[in-house]
A and B are shown apart, each in its own frame.
Chain A
Amino acid sequence: MTVLEEPIKKILDIKNYIDNEWVESEGETVNVVNPATLKVIARVPISTENELNEAVDVAKEAFPDWRRTPTLIRARCLFRLKELVEERFEELSRIQTMEHGKTIDEARGETRRGIEQIEVATGIPSLMMGCNLEDIAAGIDEYLIRQPLGVFGIIGPFNFPFMVPLWFAPYAVAAGNCIVIKPSSEDPISQFKLAELVEEAGFPPGVWNVVNGGSSVVSAMLTHPDIQGICFVGSTAVGRDVVYRKCGETGKRVIAQCGAKNFLLVMPDADMEKVIAACMTSFYGNAGQRCLAGGNLVIVGEGLSEPEYEVFYNKFINAYVDAASKIRVGYGLDDSVQIGPLRDRNKKERVGKFIERGIEEGAKLTLDGRNIRLIGSWPKDCFLNPSVFEDVTPDMEIGKEEIFGPVTCVIKARTFDEAVEMIHKNPYGNAASIFTSSGKWAREFQYRVECGNIGINIGIVAPMAFFPFSGMKNSFFGVLHGQGQEAIRFFTESKVVIQRWF
């Protein structure tokens, strides 16, 4: 067991980044705790409404000059930012492990995904181009131009502290807008470090601002008249009932990417070994704290007789439980570890309650992750080993709700249609996957399933930066999605010009 060197040696005092200045907040501070070691690694301020207002004011002031800055020059700031992030790749990744708990492989993957967003946004001269058509009538031409809108607010979640704000921020600023980011107060260090690189990359004052805090900052963002739109990633309860509703009331654009309960179907013709590897990552990676994580594993008996289905089910489930029980859990900076801790004690407690609820509801807890076995001697407060529930039905709470922890809920379905029906009855529609070697079932699945992100033999359906991060039903509120071309449309207004010269 070798633990990689921690990049944070002493407690960091996080500051707000407003108008290219590092500003102390007047608000109270809360501790940021490494969930694996329980050591305090930073103190983050809960900023006041006035501080948010100040950030919006400077962003609004910076907007006219920034929007007039040629797209290539705006792109060059992003090129420099990308280079700086590449230079600090390892440090930024290890910081994510320290503040969130994820393994170092997962953290490096998150850093890479974040960089990819910056890379795609550097293509802004092409991405932002409009279109035109001559002679829509005699001697009359029509064209469309995309114009930035002003100031946008970005509210980040705790589960991907580095990457998720980058689903939006590079596109917003590339398009000529100015932004105010509010990182999760649970793990704000990644955005603090990123802002240091933003400063070094030479963005003009007021373009990229970071205000730390909690719900009071969010509330102030949602009601601020000078914020044109909000990008939010978090729970459905907050996304739908607070963010989406408030943005509707105040006339703001909104992208609200919310909760999920993702179904993964295993057909009898699937490649079992590969399915299990994909499922281990899907259900247990990031300690299950992903909106694209597997939630329900549906073993489908399409075309099999009852005895054949039992044989298939038992063979699969035995191999699955065996693989899950061997997963190495520990501190993510130990690079032999496959799962890190949950973000904090409360999150572990919440998952524990779901496990208890599952038992009460009559599901069979085949593998109990509450029996904690760790690689290394770490406080067990935030850790859980993988759990597997069998005999789950889609109407049980554990089969219906997002657990956000390392738990697999196994459901039986005799037919493909029955499995699809289960997905459709669930209120969420973030992602769904099918494992099969049949093109027919894969096509049918892609065609019929009402989820935004569809996987064919893929465990985590994470769209690349140049595709939209989709979502349906209770998993997404808004019209346009984050990432790529859709993000550009979200961050710009389409203006149409019709002209004739006499």
Chain B
Amino acid sequence: MAVTTSDVIGFIERLEDDSSKLYYEMAEKYPCQKDIFLKYAEECEKSKILVTRTYQETITDALEACFSFKGLELEEHKIEIYVPKKTSFAEDLKRAIGMEEKAIKFYEEVIECSRGLLATIPNAFKKAAKIRSRRTLELEKLKNTSII
């Protein structure tokens, strides 16, 4: 099924919103690591702004916006994002890492699909993916060093 640019941007907005919510919840659940998770939540909000702004600033007739993401299946990239109440810190970190990896995979696919668009669009996706990659490494490190 063909996907419009608006569809993809809407998907990213929801993804970053949900990710941000997840980290706010983790910040509340784990006060000792509050600062780290609040930083992650803010990063997600910034990624959303970056992608939306880039789209709004570059969208034109020349983009073939309704026909750009051929072959992309958004359904396959849907991610369940939540923090269960009775789970350990390690389990929650593992869940967050899984979410980040899926999101990175999604970004990698949309970067490929959007190469034909103005460079600013795949570049914005790349930046959002890079932030998530760095975050994944930090979460891994946190998981390995955590004593909670």
Contact = CB atoms under 8 A, between A and B. Distances in A.
Q: State whether these chains interact.
A: yes
Interface string A41-56: 0000000000000000
B64 A277 contact: yes
Interface stretch (A172-180, A335-343, A473-481): A335-343
A285 interface: yes
B66 interface: yes
Given A89-B56, A274-B116, A277-B70, A338 B2 contact: yes
B60 A112 contact: yes
B108 interface: no
Contact of B61 (A281, A336, A338): A281
B65 interface: yes
B10 A335 contact: yes
B6 A109 contact: no
A335 B2 contact: no
B59 interface: yes
Contacts of A285: 61, 66
B3 interface: yes
Contact of A105 (B4, B70, B116): B4
A326 interface: yes
B26 to A, nearest CB: 28
A105 B59 contact: yes
A273 to B, nearest CB: 8
Interface stretch (A31-39, A297-305, A350-358, A457-465): A457-465
A327 B64 CA distance: 13
Interface in B26-44: none
B4 A335 contact: yes
A292 B62 CA distance: 11
Interface in A238-254: none
A112 B56 contact: yes
A336 B3 contact: yes
B60 A113 contact: yes
Contact of B4 (A113, A292, A338, A458): A338
Contacts of A277: 64, 67-68, 70, 116
B67 A281 contact: yes
Contact of A460 (B4, B5, B61, B68): B61
Contacts of B60: 109, 112-113, 462
A108 interface: yes
Nearest to A286: B61
A255 interface: no
A103 interface: yes
A109 B61 contact: yes
A335 to B, nearest CB: 4
B57 interface: yes
A112 B59 contact: yes
B63 interface: yes
Contact size class for B? 20 to 34
A47 B38 CA distance: 57
Interface in A305-345: 326-328, 335-339
B91 interface: no
Contacts of B56: 89, 108, 112
A196 B15 CA distance: 35
A459 B60 CA distance: 12
Tell me the interface secondary structure of chain B in the complex.
Answer: helix
Given A89-B56, A108-B59, A112-B57, A278 B64 contact: yes
A109 B65 contact: yes
Interface in A80-102: 89
Interface string B1-29: 01111110010000000000000000000
A354 to B, nearest CB: 23
Contact of A106 (B10, B66, B116): B66
A281 B65 CA distance: 8
A89 B61 CA distance: 16
A280 interface: yes
B113 to A, nearest CB: 11
Contacts of B57: 112
A104 interface: yes
Contacts of B4: 103, 105, 335-338
A251 to B, nearest CB: 36
A406 to B, nearest CB: 12
B62 A108 contact: no
Contacts of B5: 105
A215 interface: no
A385 B116 CA distance: 26
Contacts of A335: 4, 6-7, 10
A437 B57 CA distance: 30
Contacts of A339: 66
A462 B70 contact: no
Given A2-B10, A103-B4, A338 B66 contact: yes
Nearest to B116: A274
Contacts of B64: 277-278, 280-281, 459
Contacts of A108: 6, 55-56, 59, 65
Interface in A244-283: 274, 277-278, 280-281
Interface string B45-76: 00000000001111111111111101000000
Contacts of B70: 277
Nearest to B65: A105
10 contacts: A105-B4, A108-B56, A108-B65, A112-B59, A277-B64, A280-B64, A281-B61, A336-B4, A338-B4, A462-B62
- Which 10 residue pairs are nearest across A and B when measured between Cβ atoms? A335-B6, A105-B65, A338-B66, A281-B64, A105-B6, A460-B61, A109-B59, A108-B59, A277-B67, A462-B61
Interface of A: 2, 89, 103-106, 108-109, 112-113, 274, 277-278, 280-281, 285, 292, 326-328, 335-339, 458-460, 462
Given A105-B4, A113-B60, 16 more contacts: A103-B66, A108-B6, A108-B59, A109-B61, A277-B116, A278-B64, A281-B66, A285-B61, A335-B6, A336-B3, A336-B4, A336-B7, A458-B62, A459-B64, A460-B61, A460-B62
